[in-house]
Each structure stands twice: as C-alpha cells, then as structure tokens.
Amino acid sequence: MTGSIVSLGTIDIVIIAFYFALVLGIGFYLKRYTRTGDDFFMAGRKMTSWIAGLSFLAANLGALELMGWSAAAYQYGILATHWYWIGAIPAMLFLALIMMPFYYISKAHSVPGYLQLRYGNASRTLSAVSFGFMTVLMSGINMYSMALVMKVVLGWDIHFSIWVSSATVAIYVTLGGLLSAIFNEVLQFVLIWAGALLIPIIGMIEAGGWGKMVAKIQANFAGLDLTHLWRSIGSFSDNAMGIHWTGIVFGLGFVISFGYWTTDFLVVQRVLAAKDLRAAKMAPIIGAGFKMMVPFIVILPGLLALSVMPGLVGESQAVATGGHSYNEVLPLMLARYAGPGLLGLGITALIAGFMSGMAGNVSAFATVWTYDIYKPLRKKVSDAHLVKVGRWATVLGVLISIGTAYLVMQFASIMDYVQALFSFFIAPLLATVLFGMLWKRATPAAGFWGLLAGTVSSIGMWAWVKIDPQALAIIAFSPNAKAMSENMYRALWSWLIAALVTIVVSYLTKPKPESELVGLVRGCTELPSEGDYKFYQRPIFWAGVILVCLIALNVVFW
C-alpha cells in the first residue's frame, strides 16, 4: 500500500463496498427472471428505449473511455473529442434509422447470427471467431485499466484488483445474463456521471473559465494547438496526433465509427433487447444524445489538467523518472478535488465504468460463443442447455479475459492498441454488413471472401509497417503519421478491400433468390409502421435534433 495518490477513509470504503454489494444483489435478484435463452441472452427483448439506450452507451463507457480518453486529451488536446462527436454520433443515428430495422426484424440473436441468415455459415463462423477473440482482448484491457487505477490511486495490488472485479462481474452476469448486465449498466451509467461530473465543474472554477484555461494551455504548450477541433488538422505535422482531416472524416468518421457502433455486437446487443422496433430505433438516438455530452467528464478533465497540472509524461518516461504518467490524469484530477466521501464516489464511478465495459464484453462473448460457435456444432440442443452453456461461457470469457489482462500489461499505449484491433476486425465487418443489408446482389460467397480479405489485409498492413517503418508513408500517406493516424488509414484501406472483394465476387457468383432476403435486405423488406405518433415522438425528429447539435458543437469548437 505504498506510493499511492490517495488513501481512502472509512466512508469511502463504505461507499465502494455498498456498490459491490448492490451489483451482486441485483444479479441474485434478477436470476429468477432469466429462465429461457431469450431471457438470458436477449433480456427477454423487453427493455424500454431509455434503458436500452443508456445500456447501449454504458457498455462502451468502460475503462478505455474514462482513463484512456482523458489521457488522450492530455496527450493530443481537444482532437480526442472527435472520437465522441464525428466519430460516434452519425454512426449511432445511422444504426437507429437505417440498420436497426433489419437487425430487429430478422430476430437474429447476434451480428454473426445476422450474417448467417444473410450470407450463410462460413461468414457467421469467421465473424464469430474474430469477434470472440477481439472481445476477450478488450475485456482484458478493461481489467488491466481498472487494476492500474487501483494501483496508482489506492496502492492496491494489481492482481487483487483484477481478480476481485472480474469475480464480481462473473457472478452477476452468470446469474442474470444480459438482463443483469443491462440493469447494472444503467446503474453504473448514473454512478459514472454522479462521480465524475464534479471534476470538470471544480476544475473549471480553478482554471477560471474556458478562456483562461485555453490561454494557460497555450502558455504551457507554446506552438501546439491543443484547443481546436479542426483548425490544426489541415496538415499531418500541425497537430500532436499527426493526423490529417481526411483520416478523421473517412477513417474515423466513417469506417471506424460506423464499424464499431453499427456492427460491434457488444453495443448492438443492448439495442436488440428493446421491447419493440420504435424502442430499438430510439435507443441509439438516446445514446447519441448522452454520448455527445461524455467529453464533458472525459475530455475536459484532460484539458483542465493541461492547464493546472502540466508536466505529466508518457508511461515509459514516468517509470524511468518516478513521475506521473498522463495515463493517470483522471485519478490525479480526482485526488486533486475530491475530499472524503466524494473520493469514494469518484473511485466507485471508475470501478462502475470498468465493470460495465467488462460485463458488456463478457455477456456479448457468451451470446456469440453459445449461439454462433457452440450451437452450430450440435445437431439438437434444448433451450435450457443453451442457458447452461451461456453461464459457463460467461465464466470462460472472464477467465480468458484475466489471462489477456496480464498480456496487455506489456503494452505502453492502451488506446493505440485498441484502435489497431478495430481496424483488424471491425472495419471489414462493416463492409460485409453494409453490403449485406443494403445491396441484394451481394452473394454468400462474396460476404465470406470480402470479410476474410479485409481482415487479412488489415493484419498484413499492420505487420508490414512493423517490419518496414517506411511503409507508413504508403499506408497513412505520411511518414509523420502517429499510431492513431495509421490505424485510421489502415481501417479505411481494409474497408475498401473488403468492399471491393465483396462487389467483384458478387458479380462472379450466384445471388440468393429475393424470397430468402425478406426481412434481411433493404429493397426486399417491407418495414413495419412505427405506430401512430406525433412528430416529436418519432425517432427521425430526435435524430435531426441530435444532428443539429453535433454540427453546432463542431462549429463552436472549430
């Protein structure tokens, strides 16, 4: 217990202990409501739009959001906000209005399950295996991040933190399945805001307002534009991220963002649990509204730290000098402002974030493992047996995640690593799903070969740059491109390759008859009515409101 930023008082420990007791209690309470496969894996498809929407966002609001993006804000400035606005909102609205009807009407249990209906078993298996691999790695990253916070802030043993948190998640997800995960995610969402919101509020008071904060950042980091969203990305060398606006708009704003928010089953699963099509369409829109506000508790603390706490360095330099790394910026800001009680709540908010991310990964993994990997191998299985397999898969997912958490410890930059994973698996999957949903000519063979070509080429480009760093100038258009920028362009290339292969193979092979595409493809499906609602109750109206707000925010912080 040495070398920690803070030490907790009795009241802080009571707050944290109460949180653990409550999430476990919810898990035990909800077990009685999860008897069938639909209950366990799809939360009975009875969630309201608010619960599905908050859960949709909370599953993403894990360790990487809270710790990683506040660190990225310290490292790259306000550019990190792109990952919340252009890098999320358009994709969430597209999911709601264009894609959700097909996911929902098809009654698929998962995104690989949709691919099975649209393209066949080969595409499903490839997607399920890559998703399972990516998910447990992400879960491991979540665990490592949480354990790191506990070590830095409280001096807790890193192994103790990993095992206690993962055991808690394993218990409540195993008991109540997706229902328990969703309930806890909504609770965690509220706690994250309750615990994290004070940092920017008090930080702004200390900095003296936005204008004074910006002036101080400019004084602390002369020559770097860290406070404008678009002005500094006209050239690779003008910004700390080494990125060009084309990478942000096409790589992040289209491929990475649409790939993650519309095809990553971790988040899509929450929306599939909605009670009807209108709720399923409203859920991502509600999530988008809150997503737009998340920079206030994640990016702003990083910017405030640039103003009031300059001098944080990279992980390796911090280890060498014994100083603090910018990866610790959020807990450092918490320790700066939070007294007894508030500190406990802030730590609980971080733990809640980590658990919601971890539970999201584990519950999605259990569903894909059970329905898309295990079930196809068995000729006949009962619903009760699938629930049993799902519970074991949850435990298995947690155990593999623990193993990967130890592997992740070796990586210096957590966020860069995650973005690389997205470009491997998510970017080509986006092409496969989009063509499958919007183009009836796409054939089963094209779906498989497009997905495979995109994934292999993405991994190949990553390996090429590792072996020959000069290849960076070809893949990312500039030898100055940083890791994040490289990931954006690699994702863009892999999407293009997947799309191209899908188109070419489609014209060389025989398509499915239209009768088999009903409920799966636009143009072959009559969409059901949303019901008789006033204009302000319709998803399209709220999507428009969110879009206008997004444009306004980008103009204000241009």
Partner 1 sequence: MELKNAISIWFFIGVVLVVYGALILGAGIYGLIIPPAKPVVLNELHASVWWGALLFAAGIAYVVKFNPKKKKD
Q: How far apart are CA 309 and CA 218, in angstroms?
A: 13
Residue 188 vs 419, nearer CB to partner 1: 188
For 228, the 3-state DSSP assignment is: coil
Neighbouring-strand partners of residue 274: 47
User: Are 503 and 496 in contact, with CB atoms under 8 Å apart?
Assistant: no
Cβ 477 to partner 1, closest distance in Å? 44
Min separation Cβ 24 and partner 1, Å: 12
Q: Which is nearer to partner 1, 14 or 219 (CB)?
A: 14
Q: Select from 338, 368, 445, 484 the one that contacts partner 1 (CB under 8 A).
A: 338
Tokens of 319: 């280890």
Measured from the CB atom, the residue of 29 and 464 that comes closer to partner 1 is 29
Q: What's the closest the beta carbon of residue 48 comes to partner 1, in angstroms?
A: 10
Identify which of residues 141 and 186 has a Cβ nearer to partner 1 in the complex.
Answer: 186
Percent of the chain that is helix, strand, coil (3-state, to 5): 75, 0, 20
Determine the residue type at 189. F
Provide the minimum distance between the beta carbon of 390 and partner 1 in the complex, in angstroms, as a whole number: 15
Q: Which of 8, 37, 39, 123 contacts partner 1 by CB under 8 A?
A: 39
Residue closer to partner 1, measured from CB, 199 or 498:
199
Question: Which residues face 47 on adjacent strands?
Answer: 274
Pick from 20, 29, 163, 464: which binds partner 1 (CB under 8 A)? 29
d(CA 14, CA 32): 28
Residue 230: strand, helix, or coil: coil
Among 113-121, 137-145, 330-338, 369-377, the segment contacting partner 1 (CB under 8 A): 330-338
| CB of 232 vs partner 1, minimal distance in Å | 30
Distances (CA, A) of 260 to 180, 265, 267: 23, 9, 8
Selected from 17, 205, 540, 555, the binder of partner 1 by CB under 8 A is 205
Task: Say whether residue 56 binds partner 1 (CB under 8 A).
Answer: no
296 and 200 Cβ atoms separated by less than 8 Å: yes
Q: Tell whether residue 26 is a contact of partner 1 (CB under 8 A).
A: yes
Does 341 interact with partner 1 (rule: CB under 8 A)? yes
State the CB neighbour count (10 A cutoff) for residue 547. 14
Q: How far apart are CA 481 and CA 251, in angstroms?
A: 13
Round to whole Å and give the CA distance between 492 and 497: 9
| Amino acid in position 336 | R
**Which of 271, 342, 426, 429 is the binder for partner 1 (CB under 8 A)?**
342
Residue in 160, 206, 234, 441 binding partner 1, rule: CB under 8 A: 206
- Cα(445)–Cα(503) distance, integer angstroms: 11
Residues 145-184 that bind partner 1 (CB under 8 A): 179, 183
For residues 341 and 469, which CB has a smaller minimum distance to partner 1 in the complex? 341
Distance CA 121, CA 481 (A): 39
Q: Output the 3-class SS for 293-359.
A: CCHHHHHHHHHHHHHHCCCCECHHHHHHHCCCEHHHHHHHHHHHHCCCCHHHHHHHHHHHHHHHHHH
Burial of 228 (0-12, 13-18, 19+ CB in 10 A): middle
Nearer to partner 1, 79 or 286 (CB): 286
Find the part of the chain contacting partner 1 (CB under 8 A) among 37-45, 143-151, 459-467, 530-538: 37-45
Report in angstroms how near the CB of residue 101 gets to partner 1 at its nearest: 23
Structure tokens at 418: 């995650």
The yes or no reply on residue 340 touching partner 1 (CB under 8 A) is yes
Using the minimum distance from each CB to partner 1, give the nearer residue, 190 or 463: 190
Nearer CB in complex with partner 1: 5/97 = 5
Q: How many CB atoms neighbour CB 305 within 10 A? A: 27
Q: Which of 254, 337, 448, 489 binds partner 1 (CB under 8 A)?
A: 337
Least separation in angstroms between residue 197's CB and partner 1 is 9
| Cα 185 to Cα 54: distance, rounded to the nearest angstrom | 8
Q: Least distance from C-beta 16 to partner 1, angstroms?
A: 11
Amino acid letter, residue 361: N
17 touches partner 1 (CB under 8 A): no
In sequence order, the 6+-apart residues with CB closer than 8 A to the CB of 496 are none
Among 3, 211, 322, 339, binds partner 1 (CB under 8 A): 339
51 near partner 1 (CB under 8 A): yes
Nearest one of 155, 280, 239 to 484, comparing CA atoms: 239
Per CB under 8 A, does 3 bind partner 1?
Answer: no
Give min distance, CB of 19 to partner 1, in A.
Answer: 8
Q: What part of residues 183-202 is at the interface with partner 1 (CB under 8 A)?
A: 183, 186-187, 190-191, 194, 198, 202
Tell me which residue of 121, 120, 110, 143 sits closest to 42, measured CA to CA: 110
Site residue total, partner 1 (CB under 8 A): 40
d(CA 284, CA 288): 6
List the one residue from 8, 27, 41, 44 that touches partner 1 (CB under 8 A): 44
Q: Least Å distance between CB 28 and partner 1? A: 13
Residues that bind partner 1 (CB under 8 A): 11, 14-15, 18-19, 22, 26, 29-30, 33-36, 38-39, 44, 46, 51, 179, 183, 186-187, 190-191, 194, 198, 202, 205-206, 335-342, 344-345, 348
